Amino acid sequence: MSHSEVAILGGGPIGVEAALACVERGLSPKIYERDTIGENIHKWRHVRLFSPFCLNSSERGRQKLAGGGRSLPKDDSLLTGSEFLDQYLKPLASLPELADCTVERTRVLNIGREVQLKGDHIGSRKRSESRFRLLLESHGTQRIATADYVLDCTGTFGNHNWLGNGGIPCLGEDDSLQQIRYDLPDILGTDKEEFSGKRILVLGAGYSAATNVVALAELAKSDSRTQVDWVTRSFAERPLTPIENDSLNERDELTSQANQLASDPKSVVNWTPRWVVECLRLTKESNDQIEVTLSSGNDEQRKTLTVDRIIANVGFRPDRSIYEELQIHECYATQGPMKLAAALLGENSADCLAQASHGALTLQNPEPNFYILGAKSYGRSSRFLIKIGLVQIEQVVFGQGMRDRGARVYR
């Protein structure tokens, strides 16, 4: 038992921290990362995290790095994604105890059980009598790996939702992908040329949309031809609802700046609430522009606008294809693991910082020894914070779940 092999899918903050915890528990972890360590954070590296460093790092990790003579950011530092990777996550993954555990540029395609099929031994501990089989792909070559435990920490950031009415792709969305960004471009840095002097449609009413709108308004100061249309689906009076007495100053500041831009008739931001996207069409005159048809949702009113680019901050979803041969009980609304999703439904604070982890039992699946941790454990919900994932790791790696190899029956 002491050398049980743990396959950790994804080398984001939760995957790397989980591997370190596994080493401490005497288990043998392997991190399979489709790109390089911290890839999803690298995609928004220019953005500042709103939670302080002490909440985004484990005591175990900080101690290991400090013990090796490395100076760490202050506990209350608000780091950019890039600083977090360079000053913490990458050095952590390079620790001698983890360096041999990390397999980069290796994507996990599918997981099953040796010999058993999805429908065998339903929800029973008998399933754990055979090992997991993982189909991996690296540089176009496939191979099989095996493991006793699997921790799926693949996040959701690479897997965007669709921008059309009702959450399905709108007509023409597929043909317009070159003109759409679903992420957080570096609008004031490396991606400036893509947006400067352009008319941009931003969709969504979360912090990502707010970040992009504020950056575009800043960009417009250096090129006044830049125009921003911000379309949101909800009926609220403002695009973002501020959190009362928000303890995170950066988040509070972002909310008020974005709402201010939306309400100021003199700003470059033209905010239109209560509309959804029906159709996108590349214009005949120039293949670079898109004609966007918006509706009030029920087809009673329609209008069109022509824009150069769309930034669709419409959220992300878990990639469930990885575990479709396993017995996973998913929430029908969020696509997160069912027990955790049910516990999260009971939360009523608007502030995701107020959340606590809901315990190891909520992380259990009918499939024994398989856990979904980190951002993916929240399914489509965007409320996950690294601090929750760090608690999940303690609960699963040091709790009953991984102590007793013949896992208990799922109830």
Ligand X SMILES: Cc1cc2nc3c(=O)[nH]c(=O)nc-3n(C[C@H](O)[C@H](O)[C@H](O)COP(=O)(O)OP(=O)(O)OC[C@H]3O[C@@H](n4cnc5c(N)ncnc54)[C@H](O)[C@@H]3O)c2cc1C
In angstroms, give the least distance from the CB of 193 to ligand X.
Answer: 21
Residues 6+ apart with CB under 8 A from 140: none
Number of helices (H), then strands (E), belonging to the chain: the values are 12, 16
Tell me the C-alpha to C-alpha distance, in Å, between residue 98 and each of 31, 94, 333, 339. Answer: 9, 6, 36, 31
User: Is residue 107 involved in binding ligand X (CB under 6 A)?
Assistant: yes
User: Is residue 11 involved in binding ligand X (CB under 6 A)?
Assistant: yes
One DSSP character per residue, 62-118 reads HHHHHHTT-----TT---BHHHHIIIIIHHHHTSHHHHTTEE-S-EEEEEEESS--T
User: Is residue 385 involved in binding ligand X (CB under 6 A)?
Assistant: yes
User: Is residue 206 involved in binding ligand X (CB under 6 A)?
Assistant: no
Nearer to ligand X, 179 or 208 (CB): 208
Binding span for ligand X by CB under 6 A among 13-21, 112-120, 190-198, 355-363 = 13-21
Up-side HSE of residue 28: CA atoms within 13 Å toward CB? 9
In angstroms, give the least distance from the CB of 214 to ligand X.
Answer: 12
Nearer to ligand X, 35 or 347 (CB): 35
Token output for 230: 């911000």
User: Is residue 79 involved in binding ligand X (CB under 6 A)?
Assistant: no
Q: Are 364 and 350 in contact (CB under 8 A)?
A: no
What strand order describes the sheet that includes 290-295?
276-282, 290-295, 302-307
The binding track of 144-183 with respect to ligand X, each residue x by CB under 6 A or -, is ---------xxx-xx-------------------------
In angstroms, give the least distance from the CB of 222 to ligand X.
Answer: 23
User: Is residue 185 involved in binding ligand X (CB under 6 A)?
Assistant: no
Give 224's DSSP letter: T
Size, binding site for ligand X by CB under 6 A? 36
In angstroms, give the least distance from the CB of 76 to ligand X.
Answer: 13
User: Is residue 375 involved in binding ligand X (CB under 6 A)?
Assistant: yes
Q: Which of 147, 386, 390, 397 binds ligand X (CB under 6 A)?
A: 386
Q: Are 210 and 245 in contact (CB under 8 A)?
A: no
User: Is residue 40 involved in binding ligand X (CB under 6 A)?
Assistant: yes
Q: Are 31 and 8 in contact (CB under 8 A)?
A: yes
Nearer to ligand X, 199 or 251 (CB): 251
Nearer to ligand X, 129 or 319 (CB): 319
Q: Helix, strand, or coil here: 40?
A: helix
Q: Which of 279, 310, 43 is closest to 180 using CA atoms?
A: 310
Nearer to ligand X, 152 or 229 (CB): 152
Question: Which residues in 225-284 contact ligand X (CB under 6 A)?
Answer: none
Token output for 227: 């125009």
User: Is residue 368 involved in binding ligand X (CB under 6 A)?
Assistant: no
Binding residues vs ligand X (CB under 6 A): 9-15, 32-35, 39-41, 44, 47, 49-51, 56, 107-108, 153-155, 157-158, 184, 208, 322, 374-375, 384-386, 389
